[in-house]
Amino acid sequence: MDTTWNLLIDLRFLTGVTIASDRKSAVIQAGTLQDEVGNTLWKDGLGTATGSIPSVGYVGWATYGGYGPFSSNWGLGADQIISAIVVNPDGEIYVAYRELLQGIRGAGGLFGVILEVTVKVYPLSTVCFILLPSAMLMSRFE
């Protein structure tokens, strides 16, 4: 494999979740893990579609589709994206225009480096999860 033209962009320091004053959206920076997204929104009584693995980055998960436990309620992660800040190959930083935003919802960073996304958030009244150990489940079907 030729690695002459490979590039790694480390986004681990671009972390943060900022909830809008109207509490209908939140800005999520590109290096933020789903655990931080969920915990930050939860503290404010809000939620959004997230995946089931907390150590996965939110932006990558959402922009490549984003299926998770809340998908049947709010839709896919990609459905939540209402805006994105992108760096193009020329190094210009800009808000994604309509056509680019449509591409980002499913093709992720194929069109540039995504610095942050703005997503829809929803008020939470009650969330209930039932977690059973797999051994317990298997014994019920024997």
* DSSP code string of the chain: ---TT------TT---EEE-TTSSEEEEETT-BHHHHHHHHHHTTEE----S-TTSBHHHHHHT----TTHHHH--HHHHEEEEEEE-TTS-EEEPPHHHHHHHHHHGGGGSEEEEEEEE-EE-S--------HHHHHHHT-
pLDDT at 119: 98
pLDDT 10s digits, 15-56: 999 999 999 999 999 999 999 999 999 999 999 999 989 999
pLDDT 10s digits, 87-140: 988 999 999 999 999 999 988 777 889 999 999 999 987 665 555 565 655 555
pLDDT at 135: 60
CATH number (3.30.465.10, 3.40.50.1100, 3.40.50.10490, 3.40.1170.60) of 17-140 reads: 3.30.465.10
pLDDT 10s digits, 68-83: 888 888 999 999 999 9
pTM: 0.84
